[in-house]
A and B are shown apart, each in its own frame.
Chain A
Amino acid sequence: MKRSEEIERLERMAREVRKDIIEMLAEAGSGHSGGSLSACDIVVALYFSVMRHEAQNPQWIERDRFILSKGHSCPAMYACLARAGYFPLEELKTLRKFGSRLQGHPSKANGLPGIEVSTGSLGQGLSIANGVALGLRLDRIGARVYCLMGDGEIDEGQIWEAAMAASHYHLDNLCGIVDNNGLQIDGPIDEIMSPNPIAEKWKAFGWNTIKIDGHNMEEILEAFAEAKRIKGKPTVIIAKTIKGKGVSFMENVVDWHGKAPSKEQAKVALKELESS
């Protein structure tokens, strides 16, 4: 497929996934809109272009692994998994419902194919990703590990423990992504607990850093390709994003962190996404 066709395909998929996110959140009546939408393009790129994986074989030993450290953004991951064929699309409607495999935060315990590990308590995913990367290298398996973090999440000390360890162990089969949408629950990250300058911190920890527009599919793909090429150190992509991206009344609004749209609001959102 030509490069621009690839980009278009991924952008179309991202639009569908955004619609899935809005629909499933409205149906659930609760959940995390803002961070799911800001992460969407990255997660779509991973599942539909960058990662080697097989929906029919979720345990394939050579698969690339995706660890959603910012677990609350699971609607984005669930939608991608469904669209990739891990489970039926209709199951997205069961998000957060009693007995559902689609728990409020990713759960390995409920049998949903494609979930590598339970997350939701922030700051833990990068350590896990490191362990996977270490284990793969020990067994000489060439698969790569991707770990998506939030820019509020990087307040957590454990992220920096893991950052230190990834560099110490030269985990070049690991690629982190920071969904830098600039907002956390209490407000803008600059006001609440500023992690800036983000890229410089990762660089100081020994990582290769790449800054991109997190909604530009071309930049996203190039960044992941560069990460694959870098040897001897892990790479982190600092993706500048807009929380709530794609839905005008959600974009950049702090309140939409942990809120789901009402059925009415969802209708408006879906119309916007349809015509985008």
Chain B
Amino acid sequence: MFEMKSTRDGYGEGLVALGEKNSQVVVLSADLTDSTRASMFKERFPERFFTMGVAEADMIGTAGGLSLVGKIPFCCTFGVFASGRVWDQVRVTICYSNLNVKIGGSHGGITVGEDGASHQSLEDITLMRVLPNMRVVVPCDAIETRKATINAAEVVGPVYIRFGRPSIPTITKEDTPFILGKAISMREGKDVAILACGIMVYEALEAANDLDKKGISARVINVHTVKPIDEEKIFEAARETGAIVTAEEHQLCGGFGSAVAEVVGKEFPVPVEMVGIKDRFGESGSPQELMQDFGLTRFDIVRAVERVLKRK
């Protein structure tokens, strides 16, 4: 039985750990301090915490300015606003100048639940990965999110971290190393490789168990860094299994699966099936209902594996 904890809690803990060891880290919040868990940093380091109000573009620009005097700012808001609303600001102020600003895009994916479409960030991976200089990290559990957050301060340049609202299974261990850009083998297998990010890593592991019972040996790889993506690991998976399934809590268009397909297509073309959201907006519902309706469960991954094996 896995411990259940939200990735946003991991983010908050990461911020606190950073606050303790790095006096240059500052945190900005666009009126979502509690929801994003920036509150954990605020409680400990109030003099380094700035409320920006419901003004996300201003938050990004202000973070840019703070980075110009040597601070390491972490911007906190929901993924929809962190990536979509302020895309131009992230593009020109942060990425074009290659400023050392980190963006925590909370409430990623459909599992935001009842708030519905306007708040369910289904496009942020696409929006952020297309920007030069931006790194994009989609950690799979609270522990990994904490590590990714701490690691972000060590990276010099823009980083976008996508994490979520609900409590989810913690599947990595404290001693699992986190290296930006290095995907992690979660399970060995030779018939197919399931590459997943975020909450879909757990679903992929469950799918692999189901597939095992059907006599299918599925490799599961946690690709926490979508950009820069671990091309070597993907290439190896394609070469050694001959079939790939990707899984993301995100639009299929231009997202994580596309990033994998770009590598596969150019390095070692094999059949690819993608599990993700098929070009629709989110809706209100419980996370479980939504995962089902939007085709993001282990059963959807199993079906995708069965499809891809037919194409091998």
A residues with a Cβ closer than 8 A to B are 65, 67, 107-109, 116-121, 123-136, 138-139, 141, 157-158, 161-162, 164-165, 168-169
Contacts and interface: CB of A to CB of B under 8 A. Distances in A.
Contacts of B98: 108-109
B65 interface: yes
Interface stretch (B7-15, B51-59, B146-154, B234-242): B51-59
Contacts of B71: 135, 138
Given A120-B92, A158-B58, A162-B61, A132 B69 contact: yes
B61 A118 contact: no
Nearest to A132: B65
Q: Interface majority SS on B: helix, strand, loop or mixed? A: helix
Given A118-B93, A121-B92, A158-B89, A129 B65 contact: yes
Interface in B51-108: 52-53, 55, 57-71, 73, 88-89, 91-93, 96-99
6 contacts: A109-B96, A124-B57, A127-B59, A134-B50, A135-B65, A161-B58
Nearest to B133: A109
Contact of B69 (A125, A126, A136, A162): A136
B93 A132 contact: no
Nearest to A134: B66
Chain B, interface size: which category?
A: 20 to 34
Given A118-B93, A120-B92, A126 B61 contact: yes
A156 to B, nearest CB: 9
B69 A165 contact: no
Given A130-B62, A158-B57, A161-B58, A107 B96 contact: yes
Contact of B61 (A124, A136, A164): A124
A124 B92 contact: yes
Given A118-B96, A127-B60, A165 B53 contact: yes
Given A117-B93, A119-B92, A121-B88, A132 B61 contact: no
B84 to A, nearest CB: 15
Contacts of B47: 138
